[in-house]
C-alpha cells in the first residue's frame, strides 16, 4: 500500500540531500521565488506569464468566481507560435527541437525548430483545408512519433482543441471520447512499433468511426507501412500535409481559448473530459519546466519518457519544453526494445542531461539490475525527475545512486491531469530533499492538508490534500458537465479544490503524498477507476457482479484485482476457472485497453456485502493484499469472505503478461 510506504518513510527517513553547489550557484530560480510569490501571488504569476509572447497584454490577472477561474483576462496569444515561431524569429531556428528515436534500432530523425515550424505550418494549412476550425475538436490517436507533437501544435495554431487518446486504449474508449467531445476529425496512423513489432492503430479508429457515426475526416500518418483498410473519409498525411505551403500566419486567441480536452478516470465509470485553456496553462507548464528542471535551453538535452496520451506528455513533452525552446529526446517504443538497456543507450547517445520518468519504470529497472545502466556513460545527467505516483524511498535512492551517479538532484513532482502542471515539487537549486517526498508546494501554489471536516491540520499532521487558491494551469471544467465539475472537485470541502489524494506534513513540515483516497487506482502511474473496470467486467454476458480493488504491487504501485460472480455455474475445476479469467481479462482489454487488464481475477459465488447491500471494498482490498481481515461484523454473510480468502490462497498469483 502506498500509504504504508509513505508512513514507513516518515518513521525512518532522516536523510537529507542538499542541492549540489554547481546547481545551486547557477540555478534559474532561487529561494527568492518563494518570497516573491508570498508577497504578491498574482504578481508572481504575471511575471511568469511575461516569459511568453503575448499579442495583446491582459488587463486582469485573475477573475475568480469559485469554482471558475479566468487567468490573464483580455490577453491574447497563439500557443503554437509561442512553442515554435518565436524561437525561429529569435534566430534559434537551427537548434534541435526533437531528437526522435523510433523503436527499430537506427530509426532516427532530427528536427530543428525551423523544420518543426515548417511542419506545423503545413499541418495547420492541411487541417484548414480539411475543414477544421476553432469550433471543432480533433481526436489524436498516434504513437510517439514527431507527427504527434506536430498535430497537437497544428491544432493549437488554428485554435481547434485537441483530445489525445492514448494509443493503448481500445476502440470502445475511442468511441466514448469521440462521442463526448463531438469530434468530427481524427488524426491517426497505420500503426506504430511496440515490443519489436508493428502494432496496428487504424483498425480501432475504423471501428470507432463506424460506431460513432459523426467523424468526417481521418488523417492517417504512414508510420509502419502495414496494410490498412481505406474509405473515402480517409486521407494520407503525406498527401495532404505534404503538398501544403510552409507559410501560415498564426491567429491570436484569447487567453481563455480552449487548448485541449484530456479524458481521465474518475470515481465513476464515465471518463471526464478535463478542459484546459491557453494562456494560464502555457504559463505554468513553461515556468515549472524551466524552474523544476533548471532548464538551460542552450546546453541541456531533456527527455521525458511519458506518452503524449497522458497529461505528462502534454505539459512536459509538447507544451512546456517547446515553449522554453528546449532540445529534447522523444522515443517511440518500450524500455526493453533492442535490449533492457535501451534507455541508457539513448541517454548516452544524446547526452541527456534532464530525465523525467515514473517510479514504476524505476522499479522495473531495479529488478533488471544495475549492470545495465553501468554499461553506459551517463555522466551527462544533471537532474532527475519523477512523476505519476508516490516514489518509495528505496527507489528514490536507487535512482539517485545508479542513474544519477550520486550527484544529480531528484525532483519528485506531484500534479494531476486536472492541475495541468506541477504543483508540489522541490526546486533543484534550493531544496534539501528527503528521499520519497515531493517536499512542498511550488512558489505561487497554496496547499492545505485538512481533516474530514475540512479543517486544516496545521503545520504537522495528515489528511486530505486540498488546494485553496486558484492556479494558472488549473482545469477550467469538465467538458459538457458543469455539475460534475462542481461535485467532483469542489463539493467535499466547499471553496477548496479536493485532489483525491491523502497527504501528510511531517514534523519538519515536509509534505508526503500518500496516494488516492477515492476509488481511483494508480497502476504504473496511470489512473484507472474501479468502476470503469467493473462496468467492463459486467458487460461480459457471463458476469453477474464484479468488484474491483487496487492492491499493492511492488513494481506497478497498484495492481488491479477483480472479484467476479458469474451468472449461473462456472465449473469449479481450476483449468476452466483460469480459462474464464483469461477470457474476462481479454474482454476488459477490448473494452478499455490492455493497461486495464486485472492482474488477478477471483471467481467467487458471492461478494461480501453489508446488510444494506453495499460491496465491502475495504475488506476485498485486505483480501487482495493478503492482510489480516478487518472488522466483518457488518457483513451479511461472513462465510463469503472465508470462501474468497481460501480461493485467494490457492489461486497462485495469476500474474498477467
Q: Print the SS3 string covering 9-48.
A: HHHHCCCCECCCHHHHHCCCCCCHHHHHHHHCHHHHHHHH
Nearer to ligand WTA, 524 or 565 (CB): 524
Q: What is the rounded distance in angstroms from the CA atom of residue 437 to the CA atom of residue 362?
A: 16
Q: What mask of x and - would describe binding to ligand WTA in positions 409 to 448, judged by CB under 6 A?
A: ---xxxxxx--------------------x----------
Binder among 499, 511, 536, 641 for ligand WTA (CB under 6 A): 499
Q: Does 387 bind ligand WTA (CB under 6 A)?
A: yes
Task: Return the C-alpha cell found at 146.
Answer: 514527431
Q: Does 390 bind ligand WTA (CB under 6 A)?
A: yes
Nearer to ligand WTA, 140 or 616 (CB): 140
Q: Which listed range, 185-193, 225-233, 309-317, 634-642, lies at the site for ligand WTA (CB under 6 A)?
A: 309-317
Among all residues, whose Cβ is closest to ligand WTA?
417
Least distance in Å: CB of 559 to ligand WTA?
16
Q: Does 318 bind ligand WTA (CB under 6 A)?
A: no
Binder among 180, 501, 534, 591 for ligand WTA (CB under 6 A): 501
Nearer to ligand WTA, 170 or 357 (CB): 357
Query: Binding to ligand WTA (CB under 6 A): which residues in 31-50?
Result: none
Q: Does 304 bind ligand WTA (CB under 6 A)?
A: no
Q: Print the SS3 string covering 492-528.
A: CCCCCEEEEEEEEECCCCCEEEEEECCCEEEECCEEE
Nearer to ligand WTA, 208 or 387 (CB): 387
Least distance in Å: CB of 245 to ligand WTA?
37
Q: Which listed range, 65-73, 168-176, 331-339, 513-521, lies at the site for ligand WTA (CB under 6 A)?
A: 513-521
Task: Return the C-alpha cell found at 337.
Answer: 526494445
Distances (CA, A) of 167 to 190, 276, 308: 12, 21, 9
Nearer to ligand WTA, 118 or 308 (CB): 308
Least distance in Å: CB of 100 to ligand WTA?
23
Nearer to ligand WTA, 75 or 385 (CB): 385
Q: Is the dihedral of CA 303, 308, 312, 318 positive or negative?
A: positive
Task: Return the C-alpha cell found at 516.
Answer: 488516492
Q: What is the rounded distance in angstroms from the CA atom of residue 135 to the CA atom of residue 215?
A: 15
Nearer to ligand WTA, 390 or 593 (CB): 390
Q: Does 163 bind ligand WTA (CB under 6 A)?
A: no
Q: Does 395 bind ligand WTA (CB under 6 A)?
A: no
DSSP H/E element including 83 = none
Residue with cell 545512486: 401
Distances (CA, A) of 313 to 149, 292, 320, 370, 412: 9, 16, 10, 27, 17
Residue with cell 481460501: 646
Nearer to ligand WTA, 72 or 319 (CB): 319
Nearer to ligand WTA, 214 or 554 (CB): 554
Q: How many residues bind to ligand WTA according to rule CB under 6 A? A: 23
Binder among 112, 312, 353, 473 for ligand WTA (CB under 6 A): 312
In 50-168, alpha helices (H): 79-80, 86-87, 113-130, 146-158
Least distance in Å: CB of 358 to ligand WTA?
8
Do residues 1 and 625 make contact, with C-beta atoms less than 8 angstroms apart? yes
Cβ-in-10-Å burial (0-12, 13-18, 19+) of 260 comes to buried
- CA-nearest of 85, 93, 16, 13 to 53 is 85
Q: What mask of x and - would describe binding to ligand WTA in positions 245 to 284, judged by CB under 6 A?
A: -------------------x--------------------
Least distance in Å: CB of 386 to ligand WTA?
6
Binder among 101, 254, 341, 389 for ligand WTA (CB under 6 A): 389
Task: Return the C-alpha cell found at 449.
Answer: 492538508
In the DSSP assignment, the letter for residue 190 is: S
Q: State whether residue 389 is helix, strand or coil.
A: coil
Distances (CA, A) of 564 to 332, 549, 603, 651: 36, 12, 5, 14
Chain residues binding ligand WTA by CB under 6 A are 264, 310-312, 387-390, 412-417, 438, 499-501, 513, 515-516, 522, 527
Amino acid at each position: 500500500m502506498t500509504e504504508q510506504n509513505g508512513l514507513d518513510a516518515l518513521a525512518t527517513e532522516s536523510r537529507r540531500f542538499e542541492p549540489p553547489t554547481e546547481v545551486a550557484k547557477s540555478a534559474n530560480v532561487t529561494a527568492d521565488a518563494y518570497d516573491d510569490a508570498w508577497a504578491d501571488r498574482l504578481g508572481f504569476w504575471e511575471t511568469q506569464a511575461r516569459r511568453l509572447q503575448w499579442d495583446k497584454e491582459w488587463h486582469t490577472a485573475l477573475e475568480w468566481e469559485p469554482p471558475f477561474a479566468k487567468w490573464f483576462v483580455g490577453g491574447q496569444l497563439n500557443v503554437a507560435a509561442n512553442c515554435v515561431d518565436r524561437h525561429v524569429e529569435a534566430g534559434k531556428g537551427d537548434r534541435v527541437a526533437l531528437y526522435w528515436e523510433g523503436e527499430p534500432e537506427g530509426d532516427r530523425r532530427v528536427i530543428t525548430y525551423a523544420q518543426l515550424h515548417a511542419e506545423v505550418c503545413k499541418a495547420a494549412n492541411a487541417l484548414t483545408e480539411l475543414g477544421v476550425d476553432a469550433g471543432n475538436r480533433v481526436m489524436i490517436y498516434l504513437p510517439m512519433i514527431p507527427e504527434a507533437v506536430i498535430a497537437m501544435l497544428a491544432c493549437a495554431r488554428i485554435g481547434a482543441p485537441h483530445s489525445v487518446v492514448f494509443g493503448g486504449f481500445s476502440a470502445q474508449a475511442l468511441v466514448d471520447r469521440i462521442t463526448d467531445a463531438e469530434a468530427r476529425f481524427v488524426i491517426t496512423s497505420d500503426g506504430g512499433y511496440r515490443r519489436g513489432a508493428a502494432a496496428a492503430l487504424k483498425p480501432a479508429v475504423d471501428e470507432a468511426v463506424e460506431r460513432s457515426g459523426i467523424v468526417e475526416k481521418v488523417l492517417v500518418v504512414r508510420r509502419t507501412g502495414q496494410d490498412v483498410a481505406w474509405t473515402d473519409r480517409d486521407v494520407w498525411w503525406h498527401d495532404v500535409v505534404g503538398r501544403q505551403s510552409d507559410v501560415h500566419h498564426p491567429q491570436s486567441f484569447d487567453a481563455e481559448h480552449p487548448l485541449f480536452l484530456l479524458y481521465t478516470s474518475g470515481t465513476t465509470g464515465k471518463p471526464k473530459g478535463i478542459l484546459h485553456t491557453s494562456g494560464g496553462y502555457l504559463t505554468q507548464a513553461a515556468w515549472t519546466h524551466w524552474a523544476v528542471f533548471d532548464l538551460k535551453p542552450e546546453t541541456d538535452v531533456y527527455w521525458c519518457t511519458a506518452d503524449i496520451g497522458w497529461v505528462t506528455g502534454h505539459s512536459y513533452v509538447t507544451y512546456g519544453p517547446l515553449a522554453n525552446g528546449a532540445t529534447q529526446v522523444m522515443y517511440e517504443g518500450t524500455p526493453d526494445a533492442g535490449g533492457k538497456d535501451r534507455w541508457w543507450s539513448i541517454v548516452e547517445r544524446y547526452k541527456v542531461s534532464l530525465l523525467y520518468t515514473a517510479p514504476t519504470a524505476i522499479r522495473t529497472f531495479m529488478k533488471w539490475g544495475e549492470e545495465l545502466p553501468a554499461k553506459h556513460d551517463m555522466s551527462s545527467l544533471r537532474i532527475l525527475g519523477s512523476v505519476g505516483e508516490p516514489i518509495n524511498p528505496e527507489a528514490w535512492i536507487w535512482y539517485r545512486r545508479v542513474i544519477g551517479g550520486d550527484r544529480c538532484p531528484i525532483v519528485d513532482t506531484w500534479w494531476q491531469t486536472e492541475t495541468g502542471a506541477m504543483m508540489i515539487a522541490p526546486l533543484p537549486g534550493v531544496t534539501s530533499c528527503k528521499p520519497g517526498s515531493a517536499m512542498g508546494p511550488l512558489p505561487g501554489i497554496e496547499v492545505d492538508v485538512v481533516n474530514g471536516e475540512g479543517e486544516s491540520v496545521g503545520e504537522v499532521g495528515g489528511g486530505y490534500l486540498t488546494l485553496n487558491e486558484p492556479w494558472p494551469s488549473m482545469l477550467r471544467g469538465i467538458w459538457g458537465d458543469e455539475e460534475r465539475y462542481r461535485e467532483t472537485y469542489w463539493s467535499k470541502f466547499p471553496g477548496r479544490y479536493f485532489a483525491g489524494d491523502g497527504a501528510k506534513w511531517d514534523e519538519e513540515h515536509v509534505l508526503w503524498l500518500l496516494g488516492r483516497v477515492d476509488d481511483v487506482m494508480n497502476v504504473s502511474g496511470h489512473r484507472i477507476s474501479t468502476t470503469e473496470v467493473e462496468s467492463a467486467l459486467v458487460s461480459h454476458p457471463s458476469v453477474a457482479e464484479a468488484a474491483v480493488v487496487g492492491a499493492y504491487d511492488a513494481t506497478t504501485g497498484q495492481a488491479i484485482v477483480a472479484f467476479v460472480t458469474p451468472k449461473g455455474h462456472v465449473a469449479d475445476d481450476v483449468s476452466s476457472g483460469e480459462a474464464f479469467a483469461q477470457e474476462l481479462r481479454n474482454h476488459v482489454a477490448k473494452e478499455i485497453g490492455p493497461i486495464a487488464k486485472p492482474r488477478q481475477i477471483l471467481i467467487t459465488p458471492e461478494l461480501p456485502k453489508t446488510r444494506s447491500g453495499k460491496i465491502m471494498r475495504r475488506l476485498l482490498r485486505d483480501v487482495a493484499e493478503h492482510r489480516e481481515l478487518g472488522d466483518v461484523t457488518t457483513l451479511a454473510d461472513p462465510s463469503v469472505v472465508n470462501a474468497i480468502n481460501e480461493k485467494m490462497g490457492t489461486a497462485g498469483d495469476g500474474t498477467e503478461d
